[in-house]
Amino acid sequence: MGEKRAGFVSWRRDEIVDALLATAVLGYTIPQTLLRPSAWFPVPPWLSILSAVVAALSLLVRRRTAWPSVVASVVCAALTGQGAALAAAAYSMAAESTVRGWRVVAGGLAIVYLLADYIAPQSGRMAFMSAFRAVAFVYLPAMIGNWERSYRTMVKDLRETMWLREEHAASRERRRIAGELHDTVTHAVTVMVLNAGIIQDNEDPGEIRKLARNIEDKGMRALTELRELLTVLRRADVPASAAGLEAIAPLVAEGNATGLQVTLHLDVPGGLLGRQAEHACFRVVQEGLNNVRKHAPGAPVRVDCEAYGDVVSVSVVNGPGDPHESFPADHLVRSGFGLIGLKERVNLVGGWIMSGPTPDGGFALTARIPCLPPAASPRPPAVSGR
């Protein structure tokens, strides 16, 4: 309940401030007018109260335009002899930058306050004191409003500058990592391709085993280096060429061609998800099929990707596999970035993911991805490895 209240206050902060400012003007002006009438000329009480109400209501639009509050505050001062509305109008027009020549307008409002204060019966007709109060109660609030606006602008500029610096630093780091990836992959793949070519023309079993071990060692070393780079490479954005929903059907067809038994149900209208969310859906299916290849080859698999209202559900469910067909444990490369990396990717688009065994001995990987960008932090998902 407290979080909802805090969210509402943050969302409606400007409206709440405007309402409180209008209430303060009413709370000061009306009692003073009823207790000590000090208008420039005889005015019915109801008209004085009406002018105060109009001046207070005009402050509700002060962020869009200043002139309603300026004019209403002048009329209110003339009919009530009170300057609270003048002070609020002067502050608002400078703080919100709704009047280009705010100094001139603030000076005019200060003169109006000076006249209202000088004519008031209880002022003692002291021009010096009236002028001092006009500067302190009208022109000074305008200056404070201008300082506040300058401060907000400075903070905004600093945030934008900081963001640009962070982007430049991230860009340099990505370029460095891209170079590391290029060097690692190019060298490893080149050596592996050369060794594979030598194997094709070699008939010595001992030499073939030696070359094969060299290929395996080079591949494992390359994967280790890539895994180390992945620990520092975590990006929320994806390139435009990243696979999306359209790549799920070819991915399933590829799985069937390599020995899996996969059925697909894909029912998501085009344009419902952003590119990053579509890529997350693709990665869920890809990771699910990879897990089946490792842990349950030969098991029937069902891939479902459907839209339910404003959420897209993606699931990869397989039945129990034949344990005799599983890959040997020492041949599996355990990078540690399977379900963990998938969890991070789904979290970035505001979704959640869970995985675990099914009652019939199979395994299920399920994700829920919202169609719209998340307004708040997604709830923590439950992820369990195989």
Q: Please check whether residue 228 lies inside any domain of the structure.
A: no
Do 16 and 126 lie in one domain? The reply is: yes
Domain limit, last residue, from 133, 158, 183:
158
3-state secondary structure of 93: helix
Is the pLDDT at 334 greater than 50, yes or no?
no
3-state secondary structure of 94: helix
Q: Please give the residue range of the domain that contains residue 301.
A: 245-370
Q: Which amino acid is at 277?
A: A
Q: Please check whether residue 208 lies inside any domain of the structure.
A: no
pLDDT recorded at residue 302: 92
Confidence label for 287 from pLDDT (cuts 50, 70 and 90): confident
Do 253 and 147 lie in one domain? The reply is: no
Q: What is the pLDDT of residues 356-385, one digit of tens each?
A: 888 888 888 988 888 865 444 344 344 444
Q: What is the dihedral of CA 255, 258, 262, 264, to 10 degrees?
A: 40
Q: For residue 183, what are the contacts with CB-CB under 8 A and spacing of at least 6?
A: none
Do 20 and 141 lie in one domain? The reply is: yes
Query: Hunting for tokens 């991230």 — which residue is that?
Result: 170
Q: What is the mean pLDDT of residues 134-161?
A: 88
Long-range contacts of 83-86 (CB under 8 A, 24+ apart): 83/113, 83/116, 83/117, 83/133, 83/134, 83/137, 83/138, 84/24, 84/25, 84/28, 84/29, 85/25, 85/29, 85/52, 85/55, 85/56, 85/59, 86/110, 86/112, 86/113, 86/137, 86/138
Q: Please check whether residue 282 lies inside any domain of the structure.
A: yes
Nearest to 174 by CA among 228, 239, 243, 234: 234
Confidence label for 296 from pLDDT (cuts 50, 70 and 90): confident
Q: Please check whether residue 223 lies inside any domain of the structure.
A: no
pLDDT recorded at residue 346: 82
Q: What is the mean pLDDT of residues 241-266?
A: 81
Q: What is the mean pLDDT of residues 315-338?
A: 56
Confidence label for 233 from pLDDT (cuts 50, 70 and 90): low
Element (H, E) at 306: strand 300-308
Do 153 and 26 lie in one domain? The reply is: yes
Do 259 and 366 lie in one domain? The reply is: yes
Q: Please check whether residue 309 lies inside any domain of the structure.
A: yes
Do 6 and 106 lie in one domain? The reply is: yes
Do 145 and 21 lie in one domain? The reply is: yes
Q: Mean pLDDT lowest for which of 147-161, 274-288, 327-341, 366-380?
A: 327-341
Domain limit, last residue, from 123, 158, 193:
158
How many structural domains comprise the chain?
2
Q: Please check whether residue 137 lies inside any domain of the structure.
A: yes
Do 257 and 154 lie in one domain? The reply is: no
Q: Mean pLDDT lowest for which of 89-93, 223-227, 352-356?
A: 223-227
Confidence label for 140 from pLDDT (cuts 50, 70 and 90): very high
Is the pLDDT at 297 greater than 70, yes or no?
yes
Q: What is the pLDDT of residues 174-213, one digit of tens each?
A: 666 666 666 567 667 766 776 787 788 777 888 888 888 8
Q: Distance (Å, rounded) from C-alpha 362 to C-alpha 105?
A: 76
Q: What is the dihedral of CA 240, 243, 246, 249, to 10 degrees?
A: 170
Q: What is the pLDDT of residues 13-35, one digit of tens each?
A: 888 888 898 898 888 888 887 87
Q: Distance (Å, rounded) from C-alpha 84 to C-alpha 344?
A: 54
Supply the CATH number for residue 282's domain. Answer: 3.30.565.10
Domain limit, last residue, from 113, 133, 158:
158
Burial class (CB in 10 A: 0-12, 13-18, 19+), 287: buried
Do 17 and 142 lie in one domain? The reply is: yes
Do 129 and 8 lie in one domain? The reply is: yes
Q: Please check whether residue 231 lies inside any domain of the structure.
A: no
pLDDT recorded at residue 147: 92
Q: Which has more pLDDT, 327 or 90? A: 90
Cross-strand pairs, 301: 262, 318
Do 6 and 139 lie in one domain? The reply is: yes
Q: What is the pLDDT of residues 69-98, one digit of tens each?
A: 889 988 888 888 788 889 999 998 888 888
Q: Please check whether residue 222 lies inside any domain of the structure.
A: no
Q: What is the mean pLDDT of residues 321-327?
A: 51
Do 153 and 251 lie in one domain? The reply is: no
